Structure 1
Amino acid sequence: MPSTTSPITPKKGARRIVLIDHHENPPDDRVSTHLEKRGYELERRYPVNGDALDRSDHDIAGTVIYGGTHDVDEMDKYLFLHDEIAWIRHCHARKIPMLGICLGAQLIAHALDAKVTPMAHGKCEFGYYPITPTAEGQRWMPQPMYVTQAHFYEFDLPLAATLLARGEGCTNQAFRCGETTFAVQFHPEVTAEIFHRWQNSDWAEEIFFGAPGAQTRELQTTLATQHDRAQHDWFVGFLDKLFGCANE
């Protein structure tokens, strides 16, 4: 696992990071803004819209698979998810730095032969929830933290994976497999401003608000004010350890 003093060394000359997205959102999330500042060329791909995932990796410095409203148990309905599974296995086998977020984390778990299932009793997490690093995860996340959540599904731990963080309602919150593949159930890429957009979206009202486990809008806003900065500081530091800087 990358330590606070030993970031992964990017492949020499690699400047391209492939971002796999499932919705056409503004590119103002923390992954996009921070990696752009670090000099990377961000290539956003939408397999959901038919974009192909090129297996050529000579100039790829890393990949990020975002969240989305699709579910792993609907792969026969959403055939593009099979392409994403193949991409994940390709990158993992070649030790290309990879981060999966929410659905992306669930896809990584599935690709590495772990189960992905709905949370029990129709529960969800929507808001800001505390997670705690494991003993093995303390170099990755030094202390407990409130993080942004929006999900109904959870993943089991792949056989060769190391659990990095636990939650209260959803136990498995983050893992690594090998030295370059990381998966997080939560949404550290989401700023307080983005979460405010989520709160006002039709899908939040239809799917999350009022569901078992979801926080009220008022509590979400209070917790965002209290904890968003700490989440930001930790996450951009982690991105630097995983992907490094294209200009170095």
Structure 2
Amino acid sequence: MATRKGDRPAVFAVRHGDDPADDRVHAHLAQAGYRTVPVRAFAGEPIPIIDGATAGIVVFGGGFDAFDHERNRFLADEQRLIEAAMARNLPVLGICQGAQQIAHALGAWVGPSRSGRTEFGYYPVLPSAGAEDFLAAPLIVAQAHFHEFDLPPGVRQLAKSDHFACQAFSAGSAVAVQFHPEVTPAGFRRWQDAPWAMYGAKGAQNRAEQDRLMALHDDAQDAWFRTLLASLFAPSG
């Protein structure tokens, strides 16, 4: 399946669940004049073909093991899509599981947190040395993960945290972030109510602490992410 010629530039949104598309990525793409093409390989749907109308891809988070292509064969197809986009120098943004998929595609180890630690709530990430153009100062961001990844060889590390050595990196046209700057307060509240909510896990915040930090820091997270999105997907037309 190819994108239709003559349409607005298309960005493939690689999804791993059925949450509403009310996140900051979809909002930015619509405002900037892009057409979002949902990619739901996890549900057995075909992956579209990159063509001249394709402007980039965003690989969202989810609950699949990024490294387990044997159990989840569609992840191998998604990896080929990531590699094809990077080979064409198209913008690729990976978020949480999506970041792990980019790391895996580049040969890095990905797996459960070695410390057994979880991040579920709002936590500080810190700029890596020399990456202040990506993150000028520490930022409190939304998190929901218990996997981590090593830094792939030859990439640029962008952010870290006290408990996870790699929170963001770039490689060619790709940017990978372990955290969830795309999630709005409404979206995070859905996560709080979800069956998989990781309350009680090592490192997870309780709901009251999440709500307190969300109220204090979501505006700054939003402003930072808008800048990143604009750098990857500038207004079209």
Residue 76 of structure 2: aligned partner:
82
Mean Cα displacement is larger for which, 63-72 or 135-144?
135-144
Per the TM alignment, residue 158 of structure 1 is displaced from its structure 2 partner at its CA by 1.1
Per the TM alignment, residue 122 of structure 1 is displaced from its structure 2 partner at its CA by 2.3
Is 1:136–1:162's contact at 8 Å kept on the other side of the alignment? no
Structure 2 residue 212 is matched with structure 1 residue 222: yes
Residue 93 of structure 2: aligned partner:
99
Gaps of 5+ in 1: 1-12
| Pairing of 1:24-63 with structure 2 (within 5 A) | 24-63=18-57
TM-score (norm: length of structure 1) = 0.90
SS at match of 2:67: helix
Is 1:131–1:147's contact at 8 Å kept on the other side of the alignment? yes
Q: What are the Cα deviations for residues 215-238 of structure 1, in whole angstroms up to 9, with x where unaligned? A: 111111100000000000010111
Mean Cα displacement is larger for which, 61-70 or 195-204?
195-204
Letter in 2 for 1:212: K
Q: What are the Cα deviations for residues 34-62 of structure 1, in whole angstroms up to 9, with x where unaligned? A: 11011110101100011222333211111
Residue 195 of structure 1: aligned partner:
188
Residues of 1 paired with 2:39 and 2:101: CA distance? 16
| Pairing of 1:1-248 with structure 2 (within 5 A) | 15-178=9-172, 180-204=173-197, 208-247=198-237
Residues of 2 paired with 1:156 and 1:122: CA distance? 15
Residues of 2 paired with 1:76 and 1:152: CA distance? 21
TM-score (norm: length of structure 2) = 0.94
Residues of 1 paired with 2:174 and 2:20: CA distance? 26
Is 1:14–1:61's contact at 8 Å kept on the other side of the alignment? no
- Poorly superposed stretches of 4+, deviation over 6 Å: none
Residue 4 of structure 2: aligned partner:
none
Letter in 1 for 2:210: Q
Q: What are the Cα deviations for residues 156-198 of structure 1, in whole angstroms up to 9, with x where unaligned? A: 11112100001111110000002x1100000000011111111
Residues of 1 paired with 2:68 and 2:148: CA distance? 15
Percent sequence identity over aligned pairs: 43
SS at match of 2:168: strand
Is 1:55–1:90's contact at 8 Å kept on the other side of the alignment? no
